Amino acid sequence: GENVEQHPSTLSVQEGDSAVIKCTYSDSASNYFPWYKQELGKGPQLIIDIRSNVGEKKDQRIAVTLNKTAKHFSLHITETQPEDSAVYFCAASNRGGSYIPTFGRGTSLIVHP
């Protein structure tokens, strides 16, 4: 089955800095890679996703890059703000196969004012 590794487990940055979270996956058939943000006491919320036919996707301060050859993808947050503080999860699934999403173990991002 799919295995998703996520690093780092904790990331502390100063407001205005950039933050990068990295994930690797094992199943070369995986072709859909969403990122979720979970704020304290709430459910995860999709913030951006990427499909295997593109290498990069951007939405304002958030971007995701995908390297299918190396089987890794990353979340980039620029100009971080305190409200970006949350737990971030990456996931991988095979949209043409079982569709079962496998989640990474999460990264706790702390943005200091």
Partner 1 sequence: DTAVSQTPKYLVTQMGNDKSIKCEQNLGHDTMYWYKQDSKKFLKIMFSYNNKELIINETVPNRFSPKSPDKAHLNLHINSLELGDSAVYFCASSHDLDYEQYFGPGTRLTVT
What residues line the site for partner 1 (CB under 8 A)?
Answer: 32, 34, 36, 38, 41-46, 49, 87, 89, 93, 95-96, 98-101, 103, 105-106, 108
Q: How far is the CB of 87 from partner 1 (least distance, A)?
A: 6
Cβ nearer to partner 1, comparing 41 with 113: 41
Considering beta carbons, is residue 32 or 71 the nearer one to partner 1?
Answer: 32
Half-sphere exposure of 35 (CA within 13 A, CB side): 27
Nearer to partner 1, 53 or 69 (CB): 53
Residue 112 beta carbon to partner 1: minimum distance, rounded to whole angstroms: 21
Is residue 82 classed as helix, strand or coil in its secondary structure?
helix
In the complex, the smallest distance separating the C-beta of residue 27 from partner 1, rounded to whole angstroms, is 15
Q: Are 9 and 109 in contact (CB under 8 A)?
A: no
Q: What per-residue string of b and e applies to 12-33 under the rule 16 or more CB within 10 Å gives b? A: ebeeeeebbbbbbbebeebbbb
